[in-house]
Amino acid sequence: MSPARSRRTPVPHRRSRREVVQAVGVAAGLVLLTALLIWLLRPGPAGTAGTGGLMNRQPRVSALVIGTLVVGGFVTWWILRVSRRARGHEKVVLPIALGVVLVAAIVVGIAWPGGLLRNDVAPPEPITPTTTPSTPATSPTGATGATGATSTSGASGANGTIPTTGAPTTSSP
């Protein structure tokens, strides 16, 4: 006959401080990355060029940056997990490899056909309607009748007065 099993309940595993800090850091990083992507990918108004997030305004730069990050992630994974030649030398090989990826991204950015940046025109400023008075302004007329008279002395502004718009007025002699 076998001995009886113990009736003790197992003690739950407690997380170390390092594991908790790492989990909180990763969660905060994911939240910040999500907020950053939402800000970068926000669409602009339909039919208006040059608005919205940075990825909407500069798609070529965005593609280059995302491609560089993907290639850098792949190189990091390859060096840390797959490559047998780099084992034991990761602290030297990894920065060199990532430096090569960065230089390659800069060369691609310089040699990009048609230019890397897209220069959009700024969206037009909204036009604010100007209000005009419904009744024309009245001004006193002098002896020359400079407020729209048809004589050569008043309407042309030859005597120093500025002609105004409105209905011509005539003065009796």
Residues 83 and 42 in one domain: no
pLDDT at 98: 94
Whole-angstrom Cα distance, residue 75 to residue 98? 7
Residue 35, domain extent? 19-54
CA angle centred on 27, ends 22 and 29, rounded to 5°: 95
- C-alpha distances in Å from residue 52, one per residue of 2, 55, 116: 73, 8, 18
Task: Look at residue 5 and tell me if it is in a domain.
Answer: no
Task: Give this prediction's pTM.
Answer: 0.51
Residue 93 has pLDDT above 60, yes or no: yes
Task: Look at residue 127 and tell me if it is in a domain.
Answer: no
Work out the pLDDT band at 164, boundaries 50, 70, 90. Answer: low
Residue 31 has pLDDT above 60, yes or no: yes
pLDDT at 83: 80
Between residues 155 and 65, which one has the greater pLDDT? 65
Q: pLDDT tens, 4-21? A: 777 778 778 888 999 999
Task: Look at residue 62 and tell me if it is in a domain.
Answer: yes
Residues 40 and 73 in one domain: no
Per the structure, how many domains does the chain have?
2
